[in-house]
């Protein structure tokens, strides 16, 4: 699931494990402005879920919270 939030582009995914669970993951990208370089932040595994949609929802909520806390 990809979407834009504030000045960020966010890609939320669920990584499936061998035991059938899904780990929520997010990649947050901010395009360069002026003299700044582009930035990327990868969440790593956030939490584990039985349902893929729940994992993606978790990744989305986590990414939005991260953007709100780290936006200048």
Parse the chain into domains and list their residue ranges. Answer: 2-70
Q: Is the pLDDT of residue 3 over 70?
A: yes
- Assign 32 a pLDDT band (cuts: 50, 70, 90): confident
Half-sphere exposure for 16 (CA within 13 Å, toward CB): 5
> What was the pLDDT predicted at 15?
96
Cα radius of gyration (the chain) = 13
CA–CA–CA angle 11, 51, 14 (5° rounding) = 25
Answer yes or no: pTM beyond 0.85.
yes
Distance in angstroms (rounded) separating the CA atoms of residues 49 and 60: 14
CA neighbor of 62 nearest in space, from 38, 43, 34: 43
- Assign 11 a pLDDT band (cuts: 50, 70, 90): very high
């Amino acid at each position: 699931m990809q979407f834009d939030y504030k000045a960020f582009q966010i890609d939320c995914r669920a990584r499936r494990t061998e035991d059938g669970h899904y780990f929520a993951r997010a990649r947050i990208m901010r395009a360069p402005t002026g003299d700044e370089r582009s930035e990327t932040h990868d969440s790593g595994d956030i939490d584990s879920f039985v349902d893929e949609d729940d994992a993606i929802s978790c990744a989305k909520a986590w990414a939005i919270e991260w953007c709100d806390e780290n936006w200048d």
